Each structure stands twice: as C-alpha cells, then as structure tokens.
C-alpha cells in the first residue's frame, strides 16, 4: 500500500497476536540495555509507556502517512511485550550491572 492511498482502517491490517515473535528479542535487548544504564524504575516506566504509544500513536501515524505497518498488535501481544520488558530491565539492572559496569548510569544517585 502506498502512502498516498493509505487510509486509517485497522480492519484491513492483520493484528499480531503472538506471545513471542521477532520483536520479543528487540524488547528484551533494548529494555536490558535501559536497565543497565539507568535507574530501573525509570527504565521500566519508559518501556511500559512505550507500548500504548506504539499502539495508539506510532502505528496510526506511520500507517496513515507512509503505509508502514508497525506495532499493529493485540492486547495479548502488548502485555507479553510488557512482561518481556520487565524481565529485560531486571536482567540489565541486576545481572548485567554486576558483570559489566556501565560507562554511565542515568538518573541514579551514587
């Protein structure tokens, strides 16, 4: 679908209903990185807030303006993404930090 003929109609785009998919690795890796370099509560807040942003803002914008299907997922998939993000933040904060000292830590007292 080209961007000029794209119109917002969610019924024409298949929903991602998988609990685990390629994006699971991306979610885990990025949230582990955030948990490694910043306060874990802030990292968790960022990755949890990103899910509704992805679903309600990013996907409609990209699809309407450019015909790009990104983030069109069911609530089940979003909830599994949040769970994976929580595991990633915990891994980054409690495991990666112990093995590899980060070059900087954002928003955390020393």
pLDDT band at 10 (very low <50, low <70, confident <90, very high): low
Q: Domain boundaries in the chain?
A: 16-99
Asked if pLDDT for residue 14 goes beyond 90, the answer is: no
Asked if pLDDT for residue 97 goes beyond 80, the answer is: yes
Contacts of 36 (CB under 8 A, 6+ apart): 92, 93, 96, 97, 100, 102
Q: Which two tokens stand for residue 25?
A: 């690795």
């Amino acid at each position: 679908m080209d961007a000029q003929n794209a119109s917002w109609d969610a019924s024409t785009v298949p929903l991602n209903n998988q609990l685990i998919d390629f994006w699971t690795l991306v979610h885990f890796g990025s949230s582990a990185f955030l948990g490694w370099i910043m306060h874990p509560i802030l990292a968790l807040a960022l990755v949890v807030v990103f899910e509704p942003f992805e679903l309600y803002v990013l996907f409609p914008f990209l699809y309407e303006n450019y015909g790009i299907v990104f983030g069109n997922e069911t609530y089940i998939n979003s909830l599994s993404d949040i769970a994976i993000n929580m595991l990633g933040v915990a891994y980054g904060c409690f495991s990666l930090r112990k093995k590899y000292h980060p070059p900087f830590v954002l928003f955390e007292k020393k």
